[in-house]
Structures are given as structure tokens and as C-alpha cells.
Amino acid sequence: MSSAGHVFAMIQSLRNNRNLLKKRDKFFSGFNKRVAKGYRQHTRHDKKMSKEELQTLRLKLIKENKRLLFKKVIVLSISIAFIIVFIIWINKALDLELINNRYGFQE
């Protein structure tokens, strides 16, 4: 029974931590409720879209998403090409420097 005090202290510490967590408020909890309430107040529920309008909106969003994806792919490929060219350039510069240092060439 020599470790009973240690076990009791451990149990008490766990209880205290659990009680602290229950009282803790989340930082954004009130903010999210206010924002959601604001969106609900300003939305209109009397307007309904027809199937044709939904279809045109869907097609418009698909086109816009394809255009954005194309732009992202172009930017990514150009940046990868620049990185590859830069790495090759650095590699050649370091190789030249090593060759010059090894064989004693002067520029």
C-alpha cells in the first residue's frame, strides 16, 4: 500500500484536468453563431430556381472551375520548369568551380 498516495494523486490530477476541459470555452464558438445568424437573416427563401437556371449555373461553374484548374496547372508547370532550370544552372556553376579549383584553371 505504499503507492496508494501516488495513485490517488494521479486520479485527482486526471479529475481536475477533466473538470477544466468542461469549463473551457472555444474561441470561435460565439463568432460562428453570430455569423451563421447573420447569414440566416439576410437570405431570402422565397426565390426558387428553375431546372434550366440550375443547369446553366452548374455549367457556368464547371467552366469556371476548369479554367481555374487550367491556370493552376500552367502556373505549376512553369514554376517547376524554372526550378529545374535553376537547379541545372547551379549544378553547372558548381561543376565549373570544382574543375577550375582541381586543375588550377584561371578565368
Question: pTM value?
Answer: 0.46
| Residue 43, C-alpha cell as written in the block | 437570405
Q: What is the pLDDT of residue 71?
A: 95
Q: What is the pLDDT of residue 38?
A: 60
Closest listed residue to residue 88, CA positions, set 100, 96, 78, 76: 96
Q: What is the pLDDT of residue 69?
A: 95
| Residue 92, C-alpha cell as written in the block | 553547372
- Tens of pLDDT along the chain (107 residues) come to 567 778 888 889 888 888 777 665 565 566 666 666 666 666 666 678 888 988 999 999 999 999 999 999 999 999 999 999 999 888 888 877 766 666 665 55
For residues 100 and 107, the answer to whether their CB atoms sit within 8 Å is yes
**CA–CA separation, 13 vs 11, rounded Å?**
5
**CA–CA separation, 20 vs 33, rounded Å?**
23
